[in-house]
């Protein structure tokens, strides 16, 4: 295993791969290849038949792009790659007062996110839009009576062959988004993770979905409080960014445990945790167990951030499980998280959650994609399937002015895109 070099490329200024048995001091591989991610070598992902959101007047929406991507190879057709991703946009609403700028009196726009679904028939070289996978659903907050909708974000889908059949599992973040106040007034007690199954990505049975809550989730929004399963999760205010994997008869659900106080995020309490279940019967009847903490504050500091988030689980080129994570920091001035690229670390065990370390004791890093050197936005939320020609997809978030998703001023924009690195850890 010593000096077993991984693929190497530079994207967003520095991308490096590290040997599986690297020395204690991690350094970029000397033969780095310079790549400008605005150029052809690291192009933006496009989907035939889908485009970024526009306003009714035809202009680009200030809240737009492709985000939160997940890639999965079809279990029966080798060259077929499935892609799910968030599609942010502004949606016209009627309210007693305008929730967002624009429109005539009594009307306006509120931020919204759909989950879109596309397929590649050529191994990930091109993608074609299929349909809207998940839409926000109108809802009323049972605690306040406010009108709005259930927002859907951070999708994850996974095909599994069981007993000769293919079963698809899906997971997503859900929360209540009020028409008035939008993102800045979304109640934390509505945050939950929905988990479902179906015979195909377009046939999930949402009626049987399980709704999994965290420490502050109101019982009206969730079937089960996962923090009751382990003392290590009692500080998890909300869950976010679900990722799915299947191994030895168990379905694993990785979650970002996000802890908050009245002053803001408590970064040292944030962690990436695993839950597991044997998926028999309806999802709402599954029995979950706590499989452990995959990474916490110490691992985050080792990888250059205050916390680790935006996890994805995938198999590497040699068949080992990989944790693809985003280190980030909290910027108190902008009151936002600053994402610091992606890092790919080998997993020693899913059953008893544990990252791999080298003989010298450092994390077994297989690839690292740094943020842009020119300060042009931040990067993270990587997606990967070893059979997709895209290699790692890295998300790029560009903000101008106040955050459009929080109901900012007229010049505020938030644009998200996916960049193709062709890096295969």
Q: Identify the CATH number of the domain in which residue 323 sits.
A: 2.115.10.20
pLDDT of residue 411: 55
Report the alpha-carbon distance of residue 159 to residue 128 in Å, rounded: 19
Number of domains in the chain: 1
Looking at residue 180, its pLDDT comes to: 84
Q: Is residue 10 part of a domain?
A: no
CA–CA–CA angle 374, 378, 379 (5° rounding): 115
301-321 in b/e burial notation, b at 16+ Cβ within 10 A? ebbbbbbbbbbbbbbbeeeeb
Q: Are strands 224-225 and 210-213 parallel, antiparallel or unpaired?
A: parallel
Q: What value, to the nearest 5°, has the Cα angle with vertex 16 and ends 11 and 19?
A: 155
Task: Examine residue 3 and state whether it is found in any structural domain, yes or no.
Answer: no
Structure-token pair, residue 177: 């988004």
Assigned token pair, 69: 């991507």
Dihedral pair phi/psi, residue 208, rounded to 5°: -100, 10
Cβ neighbors of 303 (< 8 A, separation 6 or more) are: 325, 327, 343, 345, 363, 365
Residue 111 bridge partners (DSSP): 90
Residue 100's pLDDT is what?
A: 43
Are the CB atoms for 192 and 217 separated by under 8 Å?
yes
Annotate 318-375 with three-state secondary structure: CCCEEEEEEEEEEECCCCEEEEECEEEEEEEECCCCEECECCCCCECEEEEECCCCCC
Is residue 230 in some structural domain? Answer: yes
Asked if residues 18 and 367 have their Cβ atoms less than 8 Å apart, the reply is: yes
> What string of pLDDT tens digits covers the 425 residues of the chain?
332 323 333 343 333 333 333 323 333 322 222 334 544 557 899 999 999 999 999 999 999 999 999 999 999 999 999 999 999 999 876 544 444 444 444 457 888 899 999 999 999 999 999 999 999 999 999 999 999 999 999 999 999 998 889 999 999 999 999 988 878 889 999 999 999 999 999 999 999 999 999 999 999 999 999 999 999 999 999 999 999 999 999 999 999 999 999 899 999 999 999 999 999 999 999 999 999 999 999 999 999 999 999 999 999 999 999 999 999 999 998 888 999 989 999 999 999 999 999 999 999 999 998 776 455 678 899 999 999 999 999 999 988 765 555 444 455 889 999 999 999 99
The set of residues, in sequence order, having a beta carbon less than 8 Å from that of 278 and lying 6+ positions away, is 249, 250, 251, 286, 287
**Beta-carbon contacts of residue 175 (< 8 Å; ≥ 6 apart):** 150, 151, 186, 187, 190, 191, 192
Three-state secondary structure call for residue 406: helix
Asked if 347 contacts 357 with a C-beta cutoff of 8 angstroms, the reply is no
* Structural domain includes residue 308: yes
Is residue 425 situated within a structural domain? Answer: no
From the list 66, 243, 80, 279, the residue with the least C-alpha distance to 157 is 243
66 lies in a domain?
Answer: yes
Is 322 inside any structural domain?
Answer: yes
Q: Examine residue 398 and state whether it is found in any structural domain, yes or no.
A: yes
CB 369 within 8 A of CB 379: yes
| Predicted pLDDT at 369 | 86
In 3D space, the residue among 405, 340, 392 whose CA is nearest the CA of residue 70 turns out to be 392
End-to-end CA distance of the chain: give it in Å, rounded. Answer: 15
Q: What domain range is 69 assigned to?
A: 15-420
183: DSSP letter: G
């Amino acid at each position: 295993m010593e000096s077993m070099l991984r693929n190497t490329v530079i994207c967003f200024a520095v991308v490096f791969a590290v040997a599986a048995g690297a020395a204690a001091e991690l350094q970029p591989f000397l033969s780095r290849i310079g790549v400008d991610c605005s150029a052809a070598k690291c192009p933006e992902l496009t989907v035939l038949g889908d485009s970024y959101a526009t306003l009714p007047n035809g202009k680009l929406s200030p809240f737009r792009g492709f985000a939160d991507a997940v890639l999965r190879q079809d279990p029966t057709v080798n060259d077929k790659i499935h892609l799910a991703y968030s599609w942010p946009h502004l949606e016209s609403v009627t309210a007693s007062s305008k929730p967002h700028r624009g429109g005539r009196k009594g009307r306006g726009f509120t931020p919204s996110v759909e989950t879109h679904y596309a397929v590649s028939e050529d191994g990930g070289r091109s993608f074609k839009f299929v349909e809207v996978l998940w839409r926000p659903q109108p809802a009323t907050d049972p605690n306040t009576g406010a009108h709005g909708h259930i927002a859907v974000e951070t999708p994850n889908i996974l095909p599994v062959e069981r007993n000769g059949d293919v079963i698809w599992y899906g997971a997503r973040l859900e929360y209540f988004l009020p028409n008035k106040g939008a993102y800045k007034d979304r109640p934390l007690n509505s945050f939950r993770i929905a988990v479902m199954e179906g015979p195909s990505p377009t046939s999930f049975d949402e009626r049987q979905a399980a709704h999994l809550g965290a420490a502050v989730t109101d019982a009206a929004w969730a079937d089960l409080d996962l923090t009751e399963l382990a003392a290590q999760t009692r500080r998890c205010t909300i869950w976010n960014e679900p990722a799915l994997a299947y191994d030895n008869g168990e379905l694993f659900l990785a979650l970002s445990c996000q802890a908050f106080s009245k002053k803001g995020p408590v970064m040292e309490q944030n962690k990436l945790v695993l839950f597991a279940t044997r998926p028999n019967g309806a999802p709402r009847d599954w029995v979950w167990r706590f499989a452990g903490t995959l990474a916490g504050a110490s691992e985050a500091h080792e990888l250059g951030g205050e916390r680790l988030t935006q996890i994805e689980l995938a198999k590497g080129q040699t068949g080992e499980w990989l944790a693809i994570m985003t280190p980030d920091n909290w910027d108190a001035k902008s009151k936002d998280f600053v994402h610091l690229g992606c890092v790919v670390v080998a997993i020693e065990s899913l059953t008893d959650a544990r990252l791999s370390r080298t003989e010298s004791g450092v994390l077994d890093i297989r690839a690292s994609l740094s943020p842009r050197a020119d300060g042009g936005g931040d990067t993270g939320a990587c997606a990967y399937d070893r059979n997709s020609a895209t290699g790692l997809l890295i998300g790029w978030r560009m903000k101008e002015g106040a955050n459009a998703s929080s109901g900012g001023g007229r010049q505020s924009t938030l644009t998200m895109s996916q960049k193709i690195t062709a890096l295969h850890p």
